[in-house]
Structure 1
Amino acid sequence: MIKPWYKQIWPWLLISLPVFSILKAVHTVYIMNQQSPDLVVDDYYAQGKAINQNLSLYREAAARNLHANVLLAGNKAVLSFQANNVLDQQLVLDFVHNTIANKDFKVVAERSGESMYIAELPVTPTGKWSLVVHDPANQWKLRAALSLPATEPIKLTY
């Protein structure tokens, strides 16, 4: 005598494959909604429309002939300018993590000597970062792509 279909193993194995796939898809959607990746710039397209304004600050740094290097040692950032330019007593350093927005931080570097600035960092950054250096009045900007830890000074560009 043949058993009814619901008492055999083969139909249940065949039914379990699509059911398992559906459950796994629902679980994946749940994980995606709970742990969505951070966007470093929330409004990317609005930022894209303002690209000329941002580039003008880098052009201003080029017009002022600003050249600088940054050395990150432990929790200190040492900025050294190559020319003796008339700069403020403080500079702002924006550390922007490439993928995780809540790791971003901003520090103020104090002048130490004629063309050197020192800032104390709240954390010792590791991995890939973008560094933007600007004056408190936000009239010019310099930037660098950082791959940390670094043992040599990193050149800031326009």
Structure 2
Amino acid sequence: MKSSWYREPWAWLVFILPFTAVVAGIATYIIANTNPDTLVVGDYYKKGKSINLEVGKVKTAQKLGMRFALQLKGNELIIKPTGIEKIFPLLNINFIHPTLEERDFYLALTPDGNGYFRHQFDHEISGKWKLTLSPFEGHWKIQDTISLPQSDFIDLVPNPIKAQ
């Protein structure tokens, strides 16, 4: 007497493996199409040319000896010039989150009486950020990756831009 096919464990193994692959493929397709990557750049040539311009701004900051120190204690951000005598009327600061574009933000700060740039946040800022400092004119730039909050001052110096 022959037993039915569905009573054989090897038959189920033969059916379950391809079925699992199909389900995983459909799930991957759905995830990929509902959460597109916002970090992909369409025009690589223009992006490459703009990176070369940015490298020139970093080199200008190096030549001018631009150095700053940053602290975020509580919800107060303090950025102070270090090692330079120049006073800046306005400092542009971009905070770029490494993965979530909607968390990016921009500050334009003016100095207080001590020449420090201060900002009070209404909520806690934490995590890893790509930080960019530049003057109002935009002829130099300092760029670094930092982790916040920072109870001690950390140095921001113009380092060459790393490959993206």
Relative to the length of structure 2, the TM-score reads 0.80
Contact 2:88–2:111, Cα closer than 8 Å, also in 1: no
Structure 1 residues 37-72: Cα deviation after superposition (integer angstroms, max 9, x where no partner): 441x74573323322210121222233322211111
Contact 1:38–1:101, Cα closer than 8 Å, also in 2: yes
SS in 1 for 2:66: coil
Structure 1 residue runs of 4 or more that deviate by more than 4 Å after TM superposition:
none
Contact 1:61–1:142, Cα closer than 8 Å, also in 2: yes
1:37-76 equivalent positions in 2, closer than 5 A:
37-39=37-39, 42-43=41-42, 45=44, 46-76=46-76
Aligned partner letter, 1:84: E
Name the residue aligned to 1:93. Answer: 93
Gaps of 5+ in 2: 159-164
Contact 1:66–1:85, Cα closer than 8 Å, also in 2: no
2:102 is equivalent to residue 109 of structure 1:
no
SS in 1 for 2:54: helix
Aligned equivalents of 1:60, 1:49: Cα separation in 2: 17
The alignment-based identity, stated in percent, is 25
Relative to the length of structure 1, the TM-score reads 0.83
Gaps of 5+ in 1: none
**Worse-matched range after superposition: 98-107 or 28-37:** 28-37
